Amino acid sequence: MINIDDILRILIFKKIILRLFCCCFLLLNNACAQENLNPLTELPLQIKLGKTTYSEIKDKGDCFRKKMINQNDYICKTMSVDMDNERYTLSLDDDQRVNTLYFSDENNMTKASILPKNWKNLGLFLRKGASGRGTSKKDFIAIIKSLGIKDFIEKCEKEDCKFIYVRFKLDNVYYSAIFRQYSTWGFESGLKSFYISTVSY
């Protein structure tokens, strides 16, 4: 004889399992979509911080800061990349893995870095030349919020707040943008530098 109560319990149990499965699938799909669609996680030369090694990219730039390990050998600590559409500085740890990418504005010593195209498509740009403006802090915050980044820190570098940091963490990588707050000494305000690192702030 069929027990109606048992059938109902089985149906309810199946319904609960199905709902849990759907929720897990949606959460996983959402997380993957966010990771894949966030342009800030796509680094030049397909670099993976903490994984990409010096030997993989050494032909793409010049090592200008070396650490001697004996009289004849050294490891590269800082490297510059300067190609047609890419210009930036990167740092390496003692295991020769890239741990930091650094983009900076133009000054009297160096040319401005070139941000990745997918970042520029978001509206991010560095000051170029004394009369050029970089992305404003307000616009930068609007951009990262549009990417789903809600947890970030704003911090003054000094008491006069001449420079302000905006920092956040994404996929276990630390992002830090530095903004010149106002025009001074002929330099316009806006995004001054931007670095991404596996090393904490």
Lowest mean pLDDT among 118-127, 134-143, 152-161, 171-180: 152-161
Count other Cβ atoms within 10 Å, centred on residue 59: 6
What predicted TM-score, i.e. pTM, was given to this entire model?
A: 0.75
Candidates 189, 167, 182, 61; CA nearest to 114 is 61
Express each pLDDT in 38-64 by its tens digit. Answer: 899 999 889 999 999 999 999 999 998
Domain edges within the chain = 1-37, 38-197
Determine phi and psi for 185, rounding to 5 degrees: 55, 30
DSSP classification of residue 12: H
The reported pLDDT for the residue numbered 190 is 87
Express each pLDDT in 70-97 by its tens digit. Answer: 888 889 999 999 877 788 999 999 999 9
Candidates 66, 138, 78, 76; CA nearest to 104 is 78
The reported pLDDT for the residue numbered 177 is 95
The one-letter amino acid code at 131 reads: S
Express each pLDDT in 116-136 by its tens digit. Answer: 999 999 999 987 766 567 899
Look up residue 126 and give its two tokens.
């560095």
Query: Residue 29: pLDDT above 60?
Result: no
